[in-house]
Structure 1
Amino acid sequence: MAVMRSVPTERVAICATHGGNNEYHIINAVPALPTDHDVDAIINFESGALIDAFETHAPVLVTSHELEEIISGDLAPLGWNEHKTEAVVIVPLMAGSTRVGALILASSKSDAFSYDDIDLLGQASGQVAGTISNLQLHADLQRESDERQLLASVAREASSVVEFSQAIGPIAEELSQALDFDSLEIASIDRSVTGGALRLSWNRDDKAHPVSERFAYSGSIEESVALDMLPLVAAGKELEVLKKHYSSTQLDSSRWGSLITVPMTMLSQVVGTLTVRSKSNMPYPIEDVEMLTRVANQLAGALQSARMYGRQQNQTITSRHISRSQ
């Protein structure tokens, strides 16, 4: 609103990015975003004029033939193509040499923005960029603190029980505080055991009854993730594409809309996989994938310990049977 009072513009949007990437999340817009757009609308700056703004670190005025392409293309999430637009100003928001966002203005008059207006916007951009950068830093610190607490809670729940299957419910409850999912699965990959691998499943619809079952490991998603030692992330139509390669109920798009499967690694060895699935077809962001990977590695030690305990128990029982038979 301060910008609209100072500069003759009819439409303003402010967006922010993180880590210098090219996904700019729209924080606020006047007029408001169209109701049919996603709540977390994203702009990707790909046209030449918009890229120039970030390369020069200075506002860029667009009134040429490229204008229509920008309004209907890169800036389409704003819904401004429904209005007459004759001029657009892109103001890059920089924290040093790092992109933190952009201020976007539009007018129905080609001569709406004077050189003084553009110069004023350039001067104001530093203050706006500083505010966004500080907020992002605070959010990062808070997120790191929350994640440390999450990892500690997950480790505590996993190590507090002898049978790992007893921990999946508490682990799922802890993890659901930071990640939105409807199902959590832990697959234990033990190459010393024949007959497939063991999968523990927790579903939000039936929290009190986690399921333990053996499944065909060969050719499964779990095997692919374990061999590649890389996360697998899919959502929406991507599930149908994967379904051509893997016969798994995890890919039933009529039940599930998105998933993440990450390896559980200990001493450079994959001991299992951790999977979360959601009924929503919104893709999981990279931050969630990275966090789940750290949780998986935190759980790997507990899974291996539970597995060794189980072997010892089996050996003890076997020894007793042998002794009795003799």
Structure 2
Amino acid sequence: MMATDGRQARKLLDRLDGDLARAHGSAYVLEVGLSALMQLAGAESGLAVVIAPEQTGGLLRTSEGVGDEEAGCWADTLRRTLERDADVVSSPEVAALAAERGYSFCLPVPFVSAGWTMGAAVLLSRTPLRLAAAQARRITAARDKIAPTLERTRMLEELQARVLEWSLLMRIGQEIAYRPDSTLLPRAVSLVASTFGYEQVAFLREQEGVLWVEALAGKSLDGWKSGHAVAARDGLLGRGLGLDELVWDNNLAASPHVPRRSRSEILVPVRLGSEVLGLLDVRASSAGAFTQRDPGVLKSVADQLAVALQNQRLLLQAEKRAAYLESVARIGQDVAAILRTPDLLRQAVESVGRRLDYERVAVFLLDEAATAASLVAEYDHGEVRAYDPPAVSAGVDEERQVSRAAREGQAVRREGEASGTEGSFPTQAELCVPIRFRGRVVGVLDIGTDRRDAFGPDEVGALSLLANLIAATLENARLYERERLTASELAERNLALVRAQARVVRAERLAAIGQLGLAVKHEINNPMTAILGNAEWLMEQETGLSEEGRRALQLVHDMSLRVRDIVARLEGVDDVRRPYLETEMIDLTGRNKPEPDEQD
């Protein structure tokens, strides 16, 4: 290519101004800029490279005389030189590569803007060229036009890329933010893979030193399957579990833990505060597949995923807490209407065991002196037992969990296998909650389960409320029993009073009859004596009476005897009324109960 004269050079620079003014991308700027520089220098071939941290390899434009293999060598050399802030014009590597490729002329032209060298063009010729001072000035002028335009278009492209990136991240965030179910993780990794074009995206969670693949999207480059453990700690995972910082490698072939097919990997912890919820593992089958921008994008995705996982966890906890509290409320309904203490205790332990899924539940009640707690009811792996008299007694001063809860008046937790009450199975966790009524401990609710970490603050609070409800229900049952006994005693005393009143009324009636009898006896006996005596005298006379008269006189005599007998029977009325007039003391208040020894 022949060098241009002064007039052609000015036209070329004017045309370059027009082309740069219409530039719609950095690739176009490099293309027209490289062409103008080659014409100004009279170079046979050339290439231009732009580096950028956000894009591996940056941009590369070459002329027709440079093949792909040679372009790659030049690009690598220029990038290495530019990345270490070396002067590309005086770089020995650039001169050595030009000599190696057989070029007699090599002119590096750096693109500098705001003190930063963003790229360079290299003008090449296999025939020797000598640049005149005017040519050098024109090349410098063209470079000064190209560099700011290149930076402006690169910044615009970067802004557009970031806008697109953030819109994609927002889409992912919206998609996963409201998925509190089991589809959260599969949907998240699927969106990341499809949105950014990653070959394999997996979410891993560590459990007891083993990494499990909980969700997988894209190709299974290394034989992974969702729901399976990661057998080999390949790639970045081979550096050990518990990674809490973002790491990435674009050349896993150089790693001591080489996976099957993956050659590039980014491993991002999904962190919520200081807690690592899992790992986001992104892999590609080719080396150098990831750019400087990818780790930042995946870090944003991991942050959104951590929030979504936390929301999911909080929702599940809230649902579990609501279900637990609903079960506690139903237990309260089960026992609230029971007024007999034995039935109440049996229902309480059975409802707590079955509704809350605990293997063992027991109720201990304190004696009047609050020195010992006695087992009165127990639910043990589906079997319900009530004890009367109590089966087991624990002194309040002992170091058992039940004794401590009764003594301290606070819930006592234990974790780790240990025996429960007599006859019960060992449990992994135990909670003893004091049963309080009006600030006084009246018993202990003892709960055991085979699940570790079963008694968190929410469970302790709910069971404490339940224990207080049981205490109030026990007090209601005690008051009902006392009132029932009082009512029974009052009914018995009322019956005795009614019977006594009936006896008094009858006695009064008999007394009136007796008084009447005495009066009748006195008034009748005197005339009857005269009638009976005269009748007997007349009957003794032998003459002067006819047969009819004698029969009439005999009738008078017989009737007089009958009347005398009737009057004689009235004499027993006074003896009959005597027992009903005897008095008896009846205690209508119940205050003067005899002692047990006196009753015996």
Do both proteins adopt the same fold according to a TM-score greater than 0.5, normalized to the shorter chain? Answer: yes
* 3-12 or 173-182: bigger deviation: 3-12
Distance 2:436 2:595 in 1: 38
Give SS of 1:282's match.
coil
Structure with a larger share of its residues in helix? 2
Query: Residues 185 and 226 (structure 1 numbering): CA distance in 2 closer, same or farther, change over 3 Å?
Result: same
**1:299 equivalent among 464, 467, 470:** 470
Matching residue's letter, 2:270:
V
Following superposition of structure 1 onto structure 2, how do residues 30-109 of structure 1 map, counting pairs within 5 Å?
Answer: 31-32=226-227, 34=229, 50=244, 60-62=245-247, 88-93=267-272, 102-106=277-281
The 8 Å contact of residues 269 and 302 in structure 2, kept in 1 or not, is answered as no
Matching residue's letter, 2:460:
V
- 1:184: how far off? 0.9
Query: Is residue 2:594 matched to residue 1:322?
Result: yes
- 1:299: how far off? 1.9
Distance 1:182 1:323 in 2: 46
Query: Residues 251 and 116 (structure 1 numbering): CA distance in 2 closer, same or farther, change over 3 Å?
Result: farther
The 8 Å contact of residues 188 and 303 in structure 1, kept in 2 or not, is answered as no
2:117 match:
none
Distance 1:103 1:194 in 2: 52
Give the number of the structure with larger relative contact order, counting CA–CA contacts within 8 Å between residues 6 or more apart.
1
Kindly tell me the number of residue pairs found equivalent between the two proteins. 262
Give SS of 1:322's match.
coil
Distance 1:231 1:113 in 2: 55
**Structure 2: 5+ residue runs without aligned partners?**
1-188, 207-211, 217-225, 231-241, 250-263, 490-589
Length-normalised TM-score, structure 2 = 0.36
**2:414 equivalent among 230, 234, 238:** 234
**2:332 equivalent among 121, 130, 155:** 155
Query: Is residue 2:214 matched to residue 1:28?
Result: yes
**1:210 equivalent among 372, 386, 390:** 386
Query: Residues 273 and 115 (structure 1 numbering): CA distance in 2 closer, same or farther, change over 3 Å?
Result: farther
2:254 match:
none
Please identify the structure whose Cα radius of gyration is greater. 2
Give SS of 1:123's match.
helix
Length-normalised TM-score, structure 1 = 0.60
1:284-317 deviations in Å (ceiling 9; x for gaps): 2414334323322332222333345566778998
The 8 Å contact of residues 270 and 306 in structure 2, kept in 1 or not, is answered as no
Cα root mean square deviation, aligned: 4.6
Query: Residues 88 and 112 (structure 1 numbering): CA distance in 2 closer, same or farther, change over 3 Å?
Result: farther
**Structure 1: 5+ residue runs without aligned partners?**
16-25, 36-46, 51-59, 65-84, 240-247
1:267-297 deviations in Å (ceiling 9; x for gaps): 433222111223x363424143343233223
Give SS of 1:216's match.
strand
- 1:166: how far off? 0.9
Following superposition of structure 1 onto structure 2, how do residues 186-197 of structure 1 map, counting pairs within 5 Å?
Answer: 186-192=363-369, 197=374
- 1:228: how far off? 2.8
- 1:161: how far off? 1.7
The 8 Å contact of residues 360 and 381 in structure 2, kept in 1 or not, is answered as yes
The 8 Å contact of residues 184 and 201 in structure 1, kept in 2 or not, is answered as yes
Matching residue's letter, 2:246:
L
The 8 Å contact of residues 203 and 280 in structure 2, kept in 1 or not, is answered as yes
- 1:129: how far off? 4.3
Matching residue's letter, 1:90:
P
The 8 Å contact of residues 100 and 133 in structure 1, kept in 2 or not, is answered as no
**1:224 equivalent among 396, 401, 404:** 404
Distance 2:435 2:404 in 1: 13
Distance 1:296 1:152 in 2: 12
- 1:174: how far off? 3.5
How much identity, in percent, do the aligned residues show?
Answer: 18
- 1:8: how far off? 6.0
Matching residue's letter, 2:338:
V
Matching residue's letter, 1:197:
S
Distance 2:394 2:350 in 1: 28
Query: Residues 275 and 62 (structure 1 numbering): CA distance in 2 closer, same or farther, change over 3 Å?
Result: farther
1:77-111 deviations in Å (ceiling 9; x for gaps): xxxxxxxx986421324xxxx78973413479998
Matching residue's letter, 1:12:
F
Distance 1:260 1:228 in 2: 14
Give SS of 2:445's match.
strand
